[in-house]
Amino acid sequence: MRLLLDEGFPSPPGFRPEMVDATVQVQSLREFDSSLTGASTPDWYLYLRADEDGFDALVTRDWHQSVQPEELWTLTKTTLSVVTWRRPIEDPVCEWGQLLAYLPEVKRMIAEHGPSIVFLPSPRLDRKNLDKATNLIGQLASDLGISSQQVRDQARAIVGSELAAMGEFDRFHPVLART
């Protein structure tokens, strides 16, 4: 899959997504054709050029392209997909992380449905993505039908025994002795 990165999408020097997924080729708009960078180039023209050169998708921060008639109409005439976010992230690490994490799904969706606008979800954590080890010990104890103290005692014995066998018990004893 060939991806063209829109002008606003970060392309850090030396970062090669191909090293993570060999089936992907990524090129920034500036590398592709620097004359296309700048506010005067309409997005629909980028679609035509990207399609002409065989790109599979344009990756952009500009979700507004999905509500512009000329852009939408031009997309219907090409084999190009657009990958974007409904709610912009504005964090290059998160953007690349999201893109790489969802790339297999993006490829699958485009293969199954043809050229599309793919909206990636925002990377947000909330309270349901958080738990404390203490709470999980309680849940584990309940699942095992024993007390939380029994789970702690068994775990302490196993960790202590294995550290002693490695000759590392004294090294980690201060940490393990915390209450």
Q: Which two tokens stand for residue 143?
A: 């699942």
Decide if domain 2-120 falls under CATH 3.40.1440: no
Q: Does residue 3 or residue 129 have the better pLDDT?
A: 3
What does the pLDDT average to over 131-156?
Answer: 94
Going by C-alpha positions, the residue among 29, 24, 26 that lies closest to residue 45 is 29
pLDDT digits (tens, 9 = 90+) for 23-65: 999 999 999 999 898 778 899 999 999 999 999 999 998 888 8
- Indicate if the pLDDT at residue 3 is higher than 90: yes
Going by C-alpha positions, the residue among 99, 69, 79 that lies closest to residue 6 is 99
> Where do the structural domains in the chain lie, given as residue ranges?
2-120, 131-176
Using alpha carbons, list the distances in angstroms from residue 64 to 2, 71, 127: 22, 10, 30
pLDDT of residue 152: 93
Query: Model pTM?
Result: 0.75
Kindly report the average pLDDT of the chain as a whole number. Answer: 91
N residues, the chain: 179
Rama region for 108: left / alpha / beta (φ>0; ψ in -120 to 50; rest): alpha
What does the pLDDT average to over 70-93?
Answer: 90
pLDDT band, residue 178 (cuts 50/70/90): confident
Torsion of CA 151, 155, 157, 161, to 10 degrees: 160
Q: In the chain, pLDDT over 90 holds for what percent of residues?
A: 66
